[in-house]
Amino acid sequence: MDDNIVDENNNQDNKTIGLEEAKDIALKEVNNRNGVIVDYELEGTWNNYTHHDFEIQLDNEKREVKVDAKTGDVVETESKQNNHKIADYDKYIGFDKARDIAIDNMKDKNDVITELDLENHNKENKGAYYKVEIHTENGEYDIKIDAESGKVISRE
């Protein structure tokens, strides 16, 4: 998989680290490559992104890790206790698969994933999905992906 999800603008002055590299940095920060990424946001504006922000579920704890998009440095971490386990997320396709499905369904190879969030996962009823926000030069659109099957629900 190409890691040009972020640096697709090919503008060397505004070059940022890619999502995959930022993800590896964030997971390393929590010392757990098995943590489940439940929320991701690329902060900034088109062609000027500043931070990759991850929320990672560990057993009984959710960690927020903010990675500088230019340097790859971890600039902020925050921890919140909860009663969720990593195993609670085993039935879902996961962050990497949801990202890959979104990339396969992008309208243009230069589009940028700016958010990838697992929604409705705390509901007892079915309906959990990944909401992927994608920015373009001229706006944005969303792709919703069923969290269990990986089927694209909508692209708006």
Residue 2 pLDDT grade (very low, low, confident, very high; cuts 50, 70, 90):
very low
Cα atoms found within 13 Å of the Cα of residue 42, Cβ hemisphere only: 28
Annotate 37-58 with b (16+ C-beta within 10 A) or e (fewer): bbbbbbebeeeebebbbbbbbb
Question: What are the structural domains, with CATH classification, of the chain?
Answer: 7-155 (3.10.450.40)
pLDDT tens for each residue of 38-58: 999 999 876 788 999 999 999
pLDDT tens for each residue of 118-140: 998 766 656 899 999 999 888 89
Structure tokens at 96: 């990497």
Cβ neighbors of 41 (< 8 A, separation 6 or more) are 52, 53, 114, 115, 117
